[in-house]
Amino acid sequence: MTATTPDAPRRLTVVLGITGGIAAYKAVGVARALVVGGHDVHIVATEGALRFVGRPTLEAISRNPVHTDLYEGVAEVRHVALGQRADLIVIAPATAHTIASLAAGLAGDLLGTTVLASSAPLVIAPAMHTEMWEHPATVANIATLRTRGVTIVGPDSGRLTGTDVGAGRMAEPEVIAASALAVVGPHDLRGRSIVISAGGTREPLDPVRFIGNRSSGRQGVALAQAALARGAVVTLVAAHLDVEPPAGATAIEVETAAELEAAMREQAATADFVVMAAAVADYRPTAVAEGKLKKDDVGESLQLQLERTPDVLAGLARDRRPGQLVVGFAAETEGDDDRLLSIGAEKARRKGVDLLVVNRVGWHEGFGSTTNSVIMLDGAGSVVGRADGDKLSVAHRILDVLAETVPTTHD
């Protein structure tokens, strides 16, 4: 089993079983999501799976050899070794045949022996035609697996192979990965509620134009994903995200700073943690034109008059309920490390937050990227943590710091 250190997100050994259905090609996405999340992924693919997706693809994505044959690696007792080492087993797609084999406890191939030799949680993502999914044999097998504690993700309804439409489509890869990781925790936020703002607000000039910013919402969405995986009840106040909100979070869509403030204030009234990851407009047009601004009416130059928006974060921190932790973000273009820290420290104190996550942004840095590099400051402006890597690992590190080390400066 994998050791946990307080300074690093938990790296799990995950066995990803891929069986022979057309959805096997989507298993590449599951492997990728797990690898991007920082986990060590070992793929066990059936012969059937390898007819749908190539071994080199799976090896490149998982960064490990792909195992298929029960009679390879006999000297290292591979038929049980993989299962014994696993922290988590995910089977995606799980065909009707695989589900029947699992229910019967068959050990005729490497995936079967791996599952039987393991005490790790098992998560399966069924994929098959609707008739097969609804067949009494499959229904009974699924019921058996559920009683043994197996987690079933999906299937979704939608377009199947050929012209069929119905239940049986494999769940989306990111959903499978996130649901699987949620099973193993850590569940240190179980029962806690967290509201997270993400994305960038847009302030309208007229019905077709707005003043906005380049925030993609990826770090806020990763925080939502990480919090869900750790058992929290998550609300995402979403301002124009480039990515889908995670399944399992309640998403509230907002446009402007004013809408974001109203949604955050309402949600913060009952939340344990409040995280302002959204890039909120600091200024908005003082007047919004009813109709589209026309060049003939405006002339050769256009002067915009803008007014300050409320500082949502400072307001939330000031009015926080007892015990609530408030987290802000600071995206800065300052190149000098010392000055970046002193700007951050001043901002943490000025906004009255418990934690300020500082990151550097620029023309080619920060926004839209899948990785991040952050420094965390407590309410007094002292450095309490750093994180580097994909946004999901950074999110976990922020939650670690939040859950463990942040002194409440407002008591």
Q: Where do contacts with ligand CTP occur on this chain (CB under 6 A)?
A: 257, 276, 278, 280, 282, 309, 311-313, 328-331
Here the tokens at position 61 are: 């994505």
The dihedral built from the CA positions of residue 247, 248, 254 and 260, taken in this order, carries a sign that is negative
The alpha carbon of 92 is separated from its chain's Cα centroid by a whole number of angstroms, namely 19
58 vs 313 by CB, closer to ligand CTP: 313
Here the tokens at position 34 are: 């797990």
88 vs 257 by CB, closer to ligand CTP: 257
20 vs 245 by CB, closer to ligand CTP: 245
154 vs 199 by CB, closer to ligand CTP: 199
Phi and psi torsions of 394, nearest 5°: -60, -40
The span from the CA of 128 to the CA of 139, in Å, is 13
Half-sphere exposure of 115 (CA within 13 A, CB side): 27
Please report how close the Cβ of residue 309 comes to ligand CTP at its closest, in angstroms.
5
The span from the CA of 101 to the CA of 133, in Å, is 15
The span from the CA of 57 to the CA of 43, in Å, is 11
Please report how close the Cβ of residue 213 comes to ligand CTP at its closest, in angstroms.
9
The closest alpha carbon to 35, from 392, 400, 397, 396, belongs to 392
46 vs 267 by CB, closer to ligand CTP: 267
The span from the CA of 27 to the CA of 94, in Å, is 10
The closest alpha carbon to 248, from 170, 150, 171, belongs to 171
61 vs 387 by CB, closer to ligand CTP: 387
The closest alpha carbon to 40, from 86, 91, 93, belongs to 86
Q: Please answer whether residues 354 and 398 qualify as being in contact, where contact means their C-beta atoms are separated by less than 8 angstroms.
A: no
43 vs 239 by CB, closer to ligand CTP: 239
Please report how close the Cβ of residue 337 comes to ligand CTP at its closest, in angstroms.
17
The span from the CA of 357 to the CA of 275, in Å, is 10
Active site residue 213: yes
Beta strands in 20-136 (DSSP E): 40-45, 88-94, 122-126
Pinpoint the alpha helices (H) of 310-390.
312-318, 337-351
Please report how close the Cβ of residue 389 comes to ligand CTP at its closest, in angstroms.
21
Do strands 13-18 and 40-45 pair parallel, antiparallel, or not at all (unpaired)? parallel
**Angle 268-271-276 (CA atoms, 0-180°, nearest 5)?**
55
The catalytically annotated residue of 64, 141, 213, 372 is 213
> Which residue do the tokens 């509230």 mark?
252
Element holding 209 (H helix, E strand): strand 209-211
The dihedral built from the CA positions of residue 365, 366, 372 and 374, taken in this order, carries a sign that is positive
184 vs 313 by CB, closer to ligand CTP: 313
Please report how close the Cβ of residue 276 comes to ligand CTP at its closest, in angstroms.
4
Half-sphere exposure of 105 (CA within 13 A, CB side): 5
Element holding 283 (H helix, E strand): strand 283-285
Q: Active-site positions?
A: 213
